[in-house]
A and B are shown apart, each in its own frame.
Chain A
């Protein structure tokens, strides 16, 4: 099944008509997630909390809007939040899983983090012109060497 989905994903991406927000949303596996670009990552993961229109939501607490949020002026800040998490938001840093848990952490490459930051900063009414690169994100890791992805 997962293989079938992977093929379907590849085909859709190839024909250029993949719309993660369509009624037939792709469900990624830990392996196929590596193929996702910034737009796809936003719709597969980020919008769960920040909402499909990036306007956030409020209940007993709030998920911040990513549309029109002045904090987006700093792509480094955004990348840091995605890398290391903030409050209840988990970290998406590519790191060896150390803690024993019944679920695996979802992890994004530096390139994917840069891509999703750049996507958000140029959509939802955001019009920032300077972008962030994978190398910029790589430089933000605590260790100086690029982290190696965990074995599967």
Chain B
């Protein structure tokens, strides 16, 4: 039987939804626009492309165009490859705008990813490059039932286990719905047969007892946890826990944190490179050794009938402007910076470049003397969500159960709080992250050693975290941004419908080189 036959059979027997699911699994109706490596045949000999930016978009473009026979060079502002694909490790130095310099003091092997830190399983383009470049991956834990949901104004500020809020919220709702069913309040909505099935399913879904009640007992404890868990030996008998009242669960607003892991981009399985997200950019950098000109600040981009001339200043020769020339230019410079660089493109593209604000985000990595979240709190990876300005604590998804020190993500702020933490010095951000985090993990006070803080609007190479498109801005500017304008085309997460995701950068680069190649083969600039 062929795959097509199989799909037809599933489609006939199970309807469209099942067909779509099956197609997704077999890779037909894939979520990422990734189509595999583009086949770029017939590039005229010696055709040259200058690529601006050695982030993922720029390096994917360079990698593929070079394989297709193009003459490729990259200009990169930083002295390293990767851009926002970046890992801070012990011994690294980072100077943000304003001149604030941090020396990361993490122990060997410990790190924080200031930018992207997780890879959804359906980001097939990025995953494919990890495979090609031999970047080993490991699971990234998003949902941890034993991590916390925390609201400083609920339960006297005491953090609650995700598991108990999840179980109690579901249990009480299941009980309410079961009652409504039994009181014949759904008779006009669904048949008697379906009501029986609904009751069965509610008992299972909500861990209800034989009377369809959500009460203390083995069923509820098996979901929400025990007052004393079962063990071995003489005093091993478990003691059931007492569910929270529905009013308290609702009033706590902690249910707001229950569904994050159910969103498309955070569903299991998520992955991370072993040793830090920056391993991907580093691997690309090795592939493209000699192609990337580091420490080059682009100051002007000019195109004419003959080609593209890019002016830049090498940080090692300040005051001296050099130029790079090529037939074509792929520019991946973030719009936050590109909007300030003179470039002769159409008014429509120019307007698009200047129209998109950049979102703020701040991350803080904290090193502790021991992995108390594992040793004391039984939390292995995953995320604690809080209403405190730190927003998030995330526990490392690596080195589980290892003795010694550990680094966790002590803050992942965005919106107003990100502006505010950006306005502080790095030292103040770290101090605030420790102060707030200690409200959830009192061990912070004893165990904290050192930290690093990255506020993306102070990053000299992006001046912001990612392009914050609104629907209105997309409608007005997105297509203009993505055109090939003469000999210049843009790529990056900002030229994608996957803002802030690395997959947006990868697929945008593949799309642009495919279109550019078609134009080259067809005979040049329009």
Contact = CB atoms under 8 A, between A and B. Distances in A.
A7 interface: no
B357 to A, nearest CB: 4
A28 B97 contact: no
Contacts of A105: 415
Among B99, B420, B468, B471, chain A packs the most CB atoms within 10 A around the CB of B420
A1 B439 contact: yes
B357 A49 contact: no
Given A23-B428, A99-B470, A101-B468, A60 B460 contact: yes
B102 to A, nearest CB: 15
A146 interface: no
B472 interface: yes
Given A48-B455, A51-B98, A88 B423 contact: no
A85 B339 CA distance: 13
B508 interface: no
A47 B463 CA distance: 13
B356 A88 contact: yes
Contact of A48 (B77, B360, B414, B461): B360
Contacts of A52: 98, 423
A106 B77 contact: no
Interface stretch (B209-217, B269-277, B330-338, B401-409): B330-338
Contact of B357 (A1, A45, A46, A89): A89
Interface residues on B, range: 35 or more
Contacts of B416: 28-30, 33, 104, 106
A2 interface: yes
Interface string A26-70: 011110010000000001111111011000011111110000000
A28 to B, nearest CB: 6
Contact of A49 (B152, B298, B422): B422
Interface in B449-464: 455, 457-464
A59 B419 CA distance: 19
A31 B260 CA distance: 24
A69 B191 CA distance: 73
Contacts of B99: 57
Contacts of A49: 97, 422, 457-458, 463
B457 A48 contact: yes
B357 A57 contact: no
Most chain B CB within a 10 A radius of its CB, from A27, A59, A88, A101: A88
Contacts of A57: 97-99, 458
Centre residue among B77, B298, B419, B472 by max chain A CB count within 10 A: B419
A14 interface: no
A120 to B, nearest CB: 14
A131 B97 CA distance: 31
Nearest to B390: A27
19 contacts: A1-B387, A1-B439, A3-B152, A23-B428, A29-B416, A44-B420, A45-B419, A47-B423, A51-B98, A60-B297, A60-B461, A61-B337, A61-B463, A63-B97, A63-B463, A87-B335, A87-B357, A88-B334, A98-B472
Interface of A: 1-4, 23, 25, 27-30, 33, 43-49, 51-52, 57-63, 85, 87-91, 98-99, 101-106
